[in-house]
Amino acid sequence: MNLILFGPPGAGKGTQADLIAEPRGWPKLSTGDMLRAAVAAQTEIGKKAQKVMDRGELVPDEVVVGIISDRIDDPDCKAGFILDGFPRTIPQAEALDQMVAVKDLTLDVVIEIQVEDHVLIERIEKRATESDQVRADDNVETLKNRLSVYREQTAPLLPYYEKQGKLKAVDGMRDIEGVAAQIGDILNHI
Protein backbone atom coordinates (compact mmCIF):
# COMPACT_ATOMS: atom_id res chain seq x y z
CA MET A 1 0.00 0.00 0.00
CA ASN A 2 1.22 3.50 -0.82
CA LEU A 3 0.10 6.29 1.45
CA ILE A 4 0.71 9.87 2.47
CA LEU A 5 0.80 11.04 6.08
CA PHE A 6 -0.33 14.61 5.96
CA GLY A 7 -0.44 17.41 8.50
CA PRO A 8 1.23 20.56 9.83
CA PRO A 9 4.65 20.64 11.50
CA GLY A 10 4.29 19.20 14.99
CA ALA A 11 1.34 16.97 14.07
CA GLY A 12 3.35 13.79 14.66
CA LYS A 13 3.69 12.57 11.05
CA GLY A 14 7.22 11.25 11.52
CA THR A 15 6.37 9.39 14.73
CA GLN A 16 3.29 7.80 13.19
CA ALA A 17 5.14 6.95 9.97
CA ASP A 18 7.74 5.07 12.02
CA LEU A 19 4.98 3.18 13.85
CA ILE A 20 3.36 2.10 10.57
CA ALA A 21 6.67 1.35 8.85
CA GLU A 22 8.05 -1.05 11.41
CA PRO A 23 5.42 -3.84 11.54
CA ARG A 24 4.36 -3.53 7.91
CA GLY A 25 7.79 -3.26 6.34
CA TRP A 26 6.91 -0.26 4.20
CA PRO A 27 9.72 2.29 4.22
CA LYS A 28 9.09 5.82 5.45
CA LEU A 29 10.06 8.30 2.75
CA SER A 30 10.66 11.58 4.55
CA THR A 31 11.87 14.38 2.30
CA GLY A 32 12.89 16.30 5.46
CA ASP A 33 15.16 13.40 6.57
CA MET A 34 16.57 13.02 3.06
CA LEU A 35 17.30 16.75 2.79
CA ARG A 36 18.92 16.80 6.24
CA ALA A 37 21.14 13.88 5.13
CA ALA A 38 22.07 15.85 2.00
CA VAL A 39 22.91 18.89 4.15
CA ALA A 40 25.04 16.77 6.50
CA ALA A 41 26.89 15.23 3.54
CA GLN A 42 27.23 18.69 1.96
CA THR A 43 26.09 17.44 -1.44
CA GLU A 44 25.15 20.01 -4.11
CA ILE A 45 21.47 19.62 -3.19
CA GLY A 46 22.31 19.87 0.51
CA LYS A 47 24.29 23.08 0.09
CA LYS A 48 21.42 24.71 -1.78
CA ALA A 49 18.72 23.43 0.58
CA GLN A 50 20.38 24.40 3.86
CA LYS A 51 19.54 28.11 3.98
CA VAL A 52 15.97 27.58 2.80
CA MET A 53 15.43 24.92 5.46
CA ASP A 54 16.94 27.05 8.20
CA ARG A 55 14.39 29.74 7.38
CA GLY A 56 11.54 27.23 7.49
CA GLU A 57 10.70 27.76 3.83
CA LEU A 58 10.27 25.16 1.12
CA VAL A 59 13.04 23.89 -1.14
CA PRO A 60 12.16 24.02 -4.85
CA ASP A 61 9.56 21.53 -6.05
CA GLU A 62 11.81 19.97 -8.70
CA VAL A 63 14.41 19.09 -6.06
CA VAL A 64 12.05 17.10 -3.82
CA VAL A 65 10.15 15.61 -6.77
CA GLY A 66 13.46 14.30 -8.16
CA ILE A 67 14.48 12.85 -4.79
CA ILE A 68 11.15 11.05 -4.32
CA SER A 69 10.99 9.79 -7.89
CA ASP A 70 14.41 8.15 -7.52
CA ARG A 71 13.64 6.75 -4.06
CA ILE A 72 10.34 5.13 -5.13
CA ASP A 73 12.28 3.09 -7.68
CA ASP A 74 14.25 1.34 -4.93
CA PRO A 75 13.34 -2.34 -4.44
CA ASP A 76 12.28 -1.85 -0.80
CA CYS A 77 9.38 0.34 -2.00
CA LYS A 78 7.82 -2.45 -4.07
CA ALA A 79 5.39 -3.63 -1.35
CA GLY A 80 4.43 -0.11 -0.34
CA PHE A 81 5.76 3.16 1.04
CA ILE A 82 4.77 5.93 3.42
CA LEU A 83 5.31 9.51 2.32
CA ASP A 84 6.08 11.84 5.22
CA GLY A 85 6.41 15.55 4.42
CA PHE A 86 5.82 15.12 0.69
CA PRO A 87 3.97 16.50 -1.22
CA ARG A 88 3.85 19.98 0.30
CA THR A 89 2.61 22.04 -2.67
CA ILE A 90 0.05 21.57 -5.44
CA PRO A 91 2.78 21.22 -8.14
CA GLN A 92 4.42 18.49 -6.02
CA ALA A 93 1.09 16.66 -5.71
CA GLU A 94 0.56 16.91 -9.47
CA ALA A 95 4.08 15.62 -10.11
CA LEU A 96 3.42 12.74 -7.71
CA ASP A 97 0.20 11.83 -9.53
CA GLN A 98 2.09 11.76 -12.83
CA MET A 99 4.98 9.84 -11.30
CA VAL A 100 2.82 7.06 -9.87
CA ALA A 101 0.90 6.80 -13.17
CA VAL A 102 4.11 6.45 -15.19
CA LYS A 103 5.50 3.89 -12.73
CA ASP A 104 2.17 2.01 -12.81
CA LEU A 105 1.58 2.48 -9.09
CA THR A 106 -1.42 3.70 -7.07
CA LEU A 107 -1.64 6.21 -4.30
CA ASP A 108 -4.09 4.50 -1.97
CA VAL A 109 -4.86 6.98 0.79
CA VAL A 110 -3.93 10.34 2.26
CA ILE A 111 -4.25 10.42 6.05
CA GLU A 112 -4.50 13.86 7.61
CA ILE A 113 -3.44 14.13 11.25
CA GLN A 114 -5.60 16.96 12.61
CA VAL A 115 -4.22 19.01 15.48
CA GLU A 116 -5.51 22.34 16.76
CA ASP A 117 -3.24 25.34 16.26
CA HIS A 118 -2.67 26.14 19.94
CA VAL A 119 -1.42 22.58 20.53
CA LEU A 120 0.92 22.84 17.54
CA ILE A 121 2.39 26.05 18.91
CA GLU A 122 2.84 24.41 22.34
CA ARG A 123 4.52 21.36 20.79
CA ILE A 124 6.67 23.56 18.58
CA GLU A 125 7.84 25.61 21.56
CA LYS A 126 8.52 22.45 23.56
CA ARG A 127 10.46 20.92 20.67
CA ALA A 128 12.51 24.11 20.36
CA THR A 129 13.49 24.01 24.06
CA GLU A 130 14.21 20.29 24.09
CA SER A 131 15.97 19.99 20.75
CA ASP A 132 19.11 21.79 21.91
CA GLN A 133 19.45 22.96 18.33
CA VAL A 134 19.95 19.44 16.98
CA ARG A 135 17.88 20.65 14.07
CA ALA A 136 18.78 24.15 12.95
CA ASP A 137 15.13 24.74 12.01
CA ASP A 138 13.86 23.86 15.51
CA ASN A 139 13.71 27.37 16.91
CA VAL A 140 10.44 29.06 17.70
CA GLU A 141 10.63 31.71 14.96
CA THR A 142 11.43 29.21 12.21
CA LEU A 143 8.86 26.75 13.43
CA LYS A 144 6.17 29.42 13.42
CA ASN A 145 7.20 30.34 9.91
CA ARG A 146 6.87 26.67 8.93
CA LEU A 147 3.32 26.76 10.25
CA SER A 148 2.39 29.73 8.05
CA VAL A 149 4.11 28.11 5.06
CA TYR A 150 1.99 25.04 5.79
CA ARG A 151 -1.22 27.05 5.85
CA GLU A 152 -0.43 28.94 2.65
CA GLN A 153 1.21 26.32 0.46
CA THR A 154 0.44 22.89 1.88
CA ALA A 155 -3.10 23.06 3.28
CA PRO A 156 -4.52 23.59 -0.26
CA LEU A 157 -3.67 19.92 -0.85
CA LEU A 158 -6.55 18.91 1.42
CA PRO A 159 -9.28 19.86 -1.09
CA TYR A 160 -7.05 18.45 -3.86
CA TYR A 161 -7.08 14.97 -2.30
CA GLU A 162 -10.65 15.32 -1.07
CA LYS A 163 -11.73 15.70 -4.72
CA GLN A 164 -9.83 12.51 -5.54
CA GLY A 165 -11.73 10.73 -2.76
CA LYS A 166 -8.46 9.77 -1.07
CA LEU A 167 -8.56 11.92 2.05
CA LYS A 168 -9.15 10.45 5.51
CA ALA A 169 -8.65 12.30 8.80
CA VAL A 170 -7.61 11.20 12.27
CA ASP A 171 -7.76 13.09 15.57
CA GLY A 172 -4.15 14.04 16.23
CA MET A 173 -4.96 15.49 19.67
CA ARG A 174 -5.01 11.98 21.17
CA ASP A 175 -1.86 10.36 22.54
CA ILE A 176 0.58 8.56 20.23
CA GLU A 177 -1.09 5.15 20.67
CA GLY A 178 -4.55 6.66 20.18
CA VAL A 179 -3.52 8.27 16.89
CA ALA A 180 -1.77 5.07 15.77
CA ALA A 181 -4.93 3.06 16.49
CA GLN A 182 -7.05 5.34 14.30
CA ILE A 183 -4.52 5.11 11.46
CA GLY A 184 -4.37 1.33 11.84
CA ASP A 185 -8.14 1.20 11.54
CA ILE A 186 -8.11 3.16 8.28
CA LEU A 187 -5.36 0.97 6.82
CA ASN A 188 -7.21 -2.21 7.79
CA HIS A 189 -10.23 -1.06 5.83
CA ILE A 190 -8.44 -0.33 2.56
Q: Is 57 helix (H, G, I), strand (E, B) or coil?
A: coil
H helices, E strands: number in the chain: 9, 5
CA of residue 124 relative to chain centroid, distance: 16
DSSP H/E element including 109: strand 109-114
Q: How far is the CB of 107 from ligand AMP (least distance, A)?
A: 15
Q: How far is the CB of 189 from ligand AMP (least distance, A)?
A: 27
28 is an interface residue for ligand AMP by CB under 6 A: no
Residue number, 38 or 185, with CB nearest to ligand AMP: 38
Query: Does 23 sit behind a cis peptide bond, omega within 30 degrees of 0 on the bond before it?
Result: no
Residue number, 96 or 167, with CB nearest to ligand AMP: 96
10 is an interface residue for ligand AMP by CB under 6 A: no
Strands 2-6 and 28-30: unpaired
Q: Which of 80, 82, 67, 84 is nearest to 6 (CA)?
A: 84
31 is an interface residue for ligand AMP by CB under 6 A: yes
Which window, 40-48, 52-60, 71-79, 177-185, contacts ligand AMP (CB under 6 A)?
Answer: 52-60
29 is an interface residue for ligand AMP by CB under 6 A: no
Residue number, 58 or 72, with CB nearest to ligand AMP: 58
The C-alpha atoms of residue 190 and residue 186 are separated, in whole angstroms, by 7
86 is an interface residue for ligand AMP by CB under 6 A: yes
Q: Is 25 left (phi over 0), alpha (psi -120 to 50) or beta?
A: left
Contact residue for ligand AMP among 5, 38, 58, 72 (CB under 6 A): 58
Contact residue for ligand AMP among 38, 59, 109, 147 (CB under 6 A): 59
Q: Which residues bind ligand AMP (CB under 6 A)?
A: 9, 31-32, 35, 52-53, 56-59, 64, 85-88, 92, 137, 146
